[in-house]
Amino acid sequence: MLSDGYREQGMRVQLVQLLAQKGITNAAVLNAIGKVPRHFFLDSAFIDFAYADKAFPIGVGQTISQPFTVALQTQLLDVHKDEKVLEIGTGSGYQTSVLIEMGAKVFTIERQRELYNKASQLLPQMGYHPHFFYGDGYLGKPTYGPFDKILVTAGAPSIPEKLLAQLKIGGIMVIPIGEHQQRMIRICRTTEGEFTQEDFGNCAFVPMLEGKN
Ligand code: SAH
């Protein structure tokens, strides 16, 4: 049974306060993190870890991103209600849920069958209804694009061209770039053929791999 009691809600308030102290200023992002019950994404034995600002294993060598990383990526993406957001790396589905709480229409791709199955069962039980896809995020989802925003939650060796092509003019992509460690990069598409690029410092993600499994 999924239950969200006073204890979990209290821990979530403290997590939101911590993220604000660490520099997250977007009120809508803090509000969304305050709403999503992160303990539903971890096995019940790890409930005390659910609201620590730490990444955590979710199986098949993958991790649920640290809350600060989720908050930072969401803030950099500057999400507004009804925007179409493509997410690469569904993982646990926690980041997906935060985007939905922000009012986004989310299209999310995962290459690990087991994680795809788990998230696509869990999120609807929580009232979250993104479009789930099992496949290779390097290809994006051209038939559903172009997107207002693209969020990559795995570390890519370089900027995937196919994803750039699926970004609307005026759209934003947030992506960790690098082999072992990454830099958090924000790309804005200013015209059909022009993009600006900003660097928001070091970060650490599991790798974005090509193909399925
Ligand atoms: N957003 C997730 C973080 C998951 S970690 C969360 O909140 O839990 C990154 C995820 O990206 C992993 O689940 C991994 O399997 C997935 N991934 C890696 N390469 C991928 C690719 N090419 N396409 C889609 N997903 C990919």
How does pLDDT run across 11-50, given as a tens digit for each residue?
999 999 999 999 999 999 999 999 999 999 998 778 788 9
pLDDT of residue 117: 97
Q: What is the CA radius of gyration of the chain?
A: 16
pLDDT in tens, 138-196: 999 999 999 999 999 999 999 999 999 999 999 999 999 998 899 999 999 999 999 99
pLDDT of residue 108: 98
Ligand 1: residues with CB < 6 A are 62-65, 88-89, 91-92, 94-95, 109-112, 115, 136-138, 153-154, 206, 208-209
Catalytic residue among 65, 92, 97, 120: 65
pLDDT in tens, 49-82: 899 999 998 888 889 999 999 999 999 999 999 9
Ligand 1: atom nearest CA of 41 is 8
pLDDT of residue 165: 97
Residue whose entry in the numeric block shows the structure tokens 């935060």: 98
Ligand 1: atom nearest CA of 154 is 9
Q: What is the pTM of this model?
A: 0.97
Q: With beta carbons less than 8 A apart as the criterion, state whether 99 and 33 touch.
A: no
- pLDDT above 90 covers a percentage of the chain that reads 88
Q: Compute the distance from residue 61 Cα to the ligand 1 centre, in Å.
A: 10
Q: Compute the distance from residue 203 Cα to the ligand 1 centre, in Å.
A: 15
97 in catalytic set: no
Q: For a substitution probing ligand 1, which of 70, 112, 118 has the most ligand atoms within 8 Å of its CB?
A: 112
Residue 1 pLDDT class (50, 70, 90 cuts): low
Residue whose entry in the numeric block shows the structure tokens 């900027």: 159
Q: Compute the distance from residue 155 Cα to the ligand 1 centre, in Å.
A: 9
pLDDT of residue 2: 76
Residue 200, Cβ density class (10 Å: 0-12 exposed, 13-18 middle, ≥19 buried): middle
